[in-house]
Amino acid sequence: MGFFEKLVAGLGKTRDNIVSGMDSIFHGFSRIDDDFYEELEEVLIMGDLGVQATYDILDDLKAKVKEKHIKEPMECRELLIESIKEQMDIGETAYEFENHTSVVMVIGVNGVGKTTTIGKLAGKLRAEDKKVVIAAADTFRAAAGEQLKEWANRSQAELIGGQEGSDPASVVFDAVAAAKARHADVLMIDTAGRLHNKKNLMEELRKMNKIIDREFPEAYRETLVVLDATTGQNALQQAKEFNDVAEITGIVLTKMDGTAKGGIAVAIHAELGVPVKYIGVGETIDDLQKFDADDFVNALFERPKDDETSEEVSENK
Ligand SMILES: Nc1nc2c(ncn2[C@@H]2O[C@H](COP(=O)(O)OP(=O)(O)OP(=O)(O)O)[C@@H](O)[C@H]2O)c(=O)[nH]1
């Protein structure tokens, strides 16, 4: 299965949740009125898109309906697809760090798929012939280091640190030295994300950032937060809390395969203004991809990748 097919298969439950509900409204209403919009609103909110994104999408839809003098509810389907795509479009500049010598901090609470994501991303960068160093700065659990070692071996990245109980900041210091000595393209730092103690977390991140700023000022900086899509509104809450303590530049949403809560991708983007940059749809090294708004929305509405009607719509904009 290619990634797009996996995404289509993985988003099945989300599709059931959101799109089937919307389609029954498009079919069930004979005119576009307040009731129509109200029911759409309910489906979008129930589908985990969040209040902000729902209002943005509906405002956009209402404006388009007015502007194009649309009378048929069914015609709103295309407009809605178009509107969600526009909301979620992040463009290639989101991945600038891949083109620079960079430091990527990866934050996330236990179990969200942080280690797996680092492994997959390392594998992806290695496949592009980039040199990758991974810093095991989540030093609170021995198992975390072991698991990271396996992924580093699999993706042929170099691992620094990994000893339980060592000081995360000193792991970062060693990793920066190693990255510079080996002329690495990307240094990825696995950090512990204990949200129940925000003050400590903030302090730990501050210490690590200070070392990077001082020892590696020329490096391009990226801070990714990993979230488990299956936790829905909880993931959004985590994103908000991390956003309070760190300058997040992107989100990675894992476990998009088989969750009914894939709509949370839209909510996070709208409510935090931080783009979802990668999504995970499985447990193997190839199951992480850049977030592509077109692919995501097409998979959600189950349309073939090169659907001509979508091009017509965008050309007619
Ligand atoms: N289905 C699916 N499973 C995933 C995905 N990403 C990670 N997982 C699984 O989620 C579980 C947790 O992943 P880890 O990478 O260990 O999570 P972590 O955040 O590093 O957690 P700790 O190591 O406990 O801090 C593992 O069983 C992974 O295989 C994904 O995109 N889809």
Q: Where, residue-wise, is CATH 3.40.50.300 in the chain?
A: 92-290
Distance of CA 304 to the CA centre of its chain: 22
pLDDT tens digits for 132-164? 999 999 877 667 778 889 999 998 999 998 777
Ligand 1, atom nearest to 282 Cα: 32
**pTM listed for this prediction:** 0.90
* pLDDT tens by residue, 225-239: 999 999 999 999 999
CATH topology of domain 92-290: Rossmann fold (3.40.50)
Residue 193 annotated as binding site: yes
User: What's the pLDDT tens digit per position in 237-296?
Assistant: 999 999 988 899 999 999 999 888 999 999 999 999 999 999 999 998 889 999 999 999
Which residues make up the CATH 1.20.120.140 domain(s) of the chain? 3-90+298-315
Beta bridge pairs of residue 188: 104, 134
Q: Is residue 113 part of an annotated ligand binding site?
A: yes
Ligand 1 center to 2 CA (angstroms)? 21
In this prediction, what percent of the chain has a pLDDT beyond 70? 94
Q: Specify the CATH number of the domain 3-90+298-315.
A: 1.20.120.140
Rounded Cα gap, residues 189 and 138, in angstroms? 9
ipTM reported for the complex, 2 dp: 0.94
Ligand 1 closest atom vs CA 192: 25
- Which atom of ligand 1 is nearest the CA belonging to 108? 19
Give ∠ CA 277-283-288 in degrees, rounded to 5: 25
119 lines ligand 1 (CB under 6 A): no
173 pLDDT more than 80 = yes
Q: Which of 67-76, 191-200, 205-214 has the lowest mean pLDDT?
A: 191-200
> What are the C-alpha distances in Å from 83 to residues 61, 80, 132, 310?
7, 5, 37, 12
Which of 134, 254, 285 has most ligand 1 atoms within 8 Å of its beta carbon, as the pocket-test mutant? Answer: 254
